[in-house]
Amino acid sequence: MPRMTRDEARRCFAGARVARLATVDPEGRPHLVPMVFARHGEDGIVTAVDRKPKSSPRLKRLRNVAVTPAVSLLVDVYDEDWERLWWARADGGARTVWPDAADEQDRDARRTALALLARKYPQYRDVPPDGPVVLITVHRWSGWRASGEPRTTG
């Protein structure tokens, strides 16, 4: 049951179409949602909040990272042949950038994130997300595979 190297985990993670985002709420409880994402450079991960009714941009994941920036993201592949199981994890820190951010660099970072997401997901080209983006800096890549070479999804 070998651990993946950092590079292997990074590569397997980046190849996936969906990841799960864990944050921690102000009461110290974990919170989980799936998310589509794009990699930005070596250790960046970006995700966006879709168009939502007015109330929704105050999503729990955003409230959580405002208080506790630590996040964990997981990609995994299940197979009934357990020799083919693998997962890759990214642990890091997150911050939210809103469309009306005062800082010009932040607004640039948001535009870059949206461009990376649109490049990866054709779905975003038709309907670009108009909410905030979440920028994640990965401090640690890790992963595991039952045996052999991991297969990437999609």
- Binding positions for its own copies, rule: CB under 8 A: 17-18, 20, 22-24, 28-34, 68, 70-74, 76, 78, 80, 82, 85, 87, 89, 91, 123, 154
CA distance 102 to 98: 9
Min CB(114)–its own copies separation in Å:
16
> Of the two residues 68 and 152, which places its CB atom closer to its own copies in the complex?
68
Least spacing, CB of residue 91 vs its own copies, in Å: 7
- Given the complex with its own copies, which of 54 and 102 has the nearer CB atom? 54
Which amino acid would we find at residue 11? R
CB of 59 to its own copies, least distance (A): 12
Q: What are phi and psi of 146, to 5 degrees?
A: -65, -40
Q: What whole-number distance in Å separates Cα of residue 117 and Cα of residue 140?
A: 22
Q: What does the angle CA 45 – CA 55 – CA 27 come to, to the nearest 5 degrees?
A: 65
Q: Which is nearer to its own copies, 107 or 152 (CB)?
A: 152
The CB-of-72 to its own copies minimum distance in angstroms stands at 4
* Secondary structure (3-state) at 153: coil
What residue type is 132 in one-letter code? Answer: P
Distance CA 147, CA 138 (A): 25
Closer to its own copies at the Cβ: 28 or 105?
A: 28
| Residue 30: Cβ within 10 Å count | 10
Q: Is the CB of 123 or the CB of 147 nearer to its own copies?
A: 123
Question: Closest distance between its own copies and the C-beta of residue 104, in Å?
Answer: 31
